[in-house]
Structure 1
Amino acid sequence: MHLILTGATGLVGASVLDNMLAQESISRISILSRRPVKMAEGHEKAKVILHKDYKTYDKALLEELKDANGCVWAQGVSQNAVGKDEYIEITHDYPLAAAKAFSTLHPDSPFAFVYVSGEGATQTPGMFTPIFGRVKGQIETTLFEFGKQTSNFKVYNVRPGGVDWTSHPEIHPFMPKQDLYKKVLVPPLNLVWKGLMTPTQPMGRIFTELAMSKGEPLQGSGIEMEGRLVRNSAIRRMAGL
């Protein structure tokens, strides 16, 4: 089993990479990254491919990825860290370009694409919907529609809630430094609104398993968009939480 991962130096990506490294059935992990990934060092099955332009996938790169079964697209950025145009490019244009490229890897067999969105994304934005909710909702719809038009491309839009890394010590040396307010808020939120939180360890497992799957539509509570949208409540349910 060969999987592709982006965003490996981020919090969600680190949790996914930790699970991928532990999965014996995964023989190869192709990590697309702008910079080295410390967590991958010393692991023979993990190869970091330094990739600068996420809107372009040349023939040599696609040849290297040709037998990949799926991808977890965990790359992302806070809406507060960049301007609006750059946020749209990273959040919408990058994953769409990747979807189009990866769908050509093996057109006659399924390719599972797990797009990490987030609770707050919406297909029906209102006057006060923040930019992240609008843009993530747009790319969820765009990927869904692309999947309907491309028979082998099987998308899952996954929406984690408040990402909780506190009980996942394996990723602590590799994850980005978290803002002080997050460190302060996560423990009480786990007590008061536990159902809104997404622990990284089971989250990484669920996202990995979806990327390893044949991409069949999901069912059950918290599943929308014809089995292609996985809300946080469904992530928790699938993780047994």
Structure 2
Amino acid sequence: MKLILTGSSGLVGHEILSQYLEHPSPQVVLMEDFSSYPKTTLEAIKGADACIWTLGVNPKKMFDDGMARRVNIENTMTAVRLFNDSCQKPFRFVYCSGYLAERVRPSGSGSFKTTDGQVETEFLTFDDENPAFESYILQPALIKPRSNPNESVIAIGPSIKVHELASKMLNLALEGGTKKRSKNSEINQEL
């Protein structure tokens, strides 16, 4: 299986990469810029079976809303369209969203509380319009690292261990699933 993984330098992406490299004959595509796709990159992703998208920025931690929108929405949707056109069919796209992402119905009105909510809406609309595109959205809450130097710290509120989230995302990319969107509690129940 050929897998595209974004955000591999982050907590979740790094864990997914570590687990994926343990699989027999993993194929890895390295990309550094997700705003453009030169010919060499298009050749590298050709024939990919799935993508796990863990790339994003927290708009609340950025002073530039435009940058957050470009990274979280525009880069994601550019990749979705490109991968759908260039990769194997069916193509699986596993998206790591946010616990508090709020979507609006495409026909409804209102604002998005987060860019995750907007990209989820666009993403699921694209999924509905493209039957050979399988999308999965996971909405983890607090993600606990594999090693916690202070084990006495207990998360107040919903949480998930990074290796469990990574395992779930990797399994969806490799095997697919029936549920398109899973919240933190649902992810934990399925483990």
**Considering only aligned residues, what root-mean-square deviation do their CA atoms show, in Å?**
2.4
Aligned partner of residue 148 in structure 1, secondary structure: helix
Rounded Cα–Cα distance in structure 1 between residues aligned with 2:167 and 2:82:
25
TM-score (norm 2): 0.87
* Kept in 1: contact 2:20–2:26 (CA 8 A): no
Deviation for aligned residue 1:112: 0.5
User: Per-residue displacement from partner, 1:22-74 (whole Å, max 9, x unpaired)?
Assistant: 222x5212232xxxxxxxxxxxxxxxxxx33x232233322211121101110
Pair 1:66–1:11, CA change in 2 (3 A)? same
Q: 2:154 aligns with which of 188, 203, 216?
A: 188
Q: Is the counterpart of residue 140 in structure 1 residue 140 in structure 2?
A: no
- Give the partner amino acid of 1:153: F
Give the aligned residue type for 1:62.
L
TM-score of the superposed pair, with normalisation by structure 1: 0.70
Alignment size in residue pairs: 185
Question: What residue is the counterpart of 2:140 in the other structure?
Answer: 160
Q: Show the counterpart of 1:211.
A: 173
Q: Which amino acid aligns with 1:188?
A: I
Give the match for residue 3 of structure 1. 3
Runs (4+) off by over 3 Å: 183-186
Note closer, same or farther for the CA distance 1:82–1:21 as it changes in structure 2 (3 Å cut). Answer: farther
Gaps of at least 5 residues in structure 1 are 33-50, 173-182, 219-227
* 1:97–1:185 CA distance, 2 compared to 1 (3 A): farther
SS at match of 1:57: coil
Shift of 1:209: 0.9
Q: Report 1:1-241 matches (<5 A).
A: 1-24=1-24, 27-32=26-31, 51-52=32-33, 54-79=34-59, 80-106=61-87, 109-124=89-104, 133-165=113-145, 168-169=146-147, 187-189=153-155, 193=157, 196-213=158-175, 215-218=176-179, 228-239=180-191
State the identity as a percent: 25
What is the rounded CA distance, in whole Å, between the counterparts of 1:4 and 1:118 in structure 2? 20
Task: Return the alpha-carbon distance in structure 1 between the equivalents of residues 132 and 171 of structure 2.
Answer: 18
Letter in 1 for 2:138: V
Residues 84 and 186 of structure 1, relative CA distance in 2, 3 Å threshold: farther
The structure-2 alpha-carbon separation of the partners of 1:64 and 1:160, relative to structure 1 and needing over 3 Å to count, comes to same
Match of 2:21, SS state, is helix
CA distance in structure 1 between the aligned counterparts of 2:38 and 2:80, rounded to whole angstroms: 14
Distance 1:185 1:76, change over 3 A: farther
Amino acid aligned to 1:91: N
- Structure 2, unaligned stretches of length 5 or more? 105-110
Change (3 A) 1:113 1:186: farther
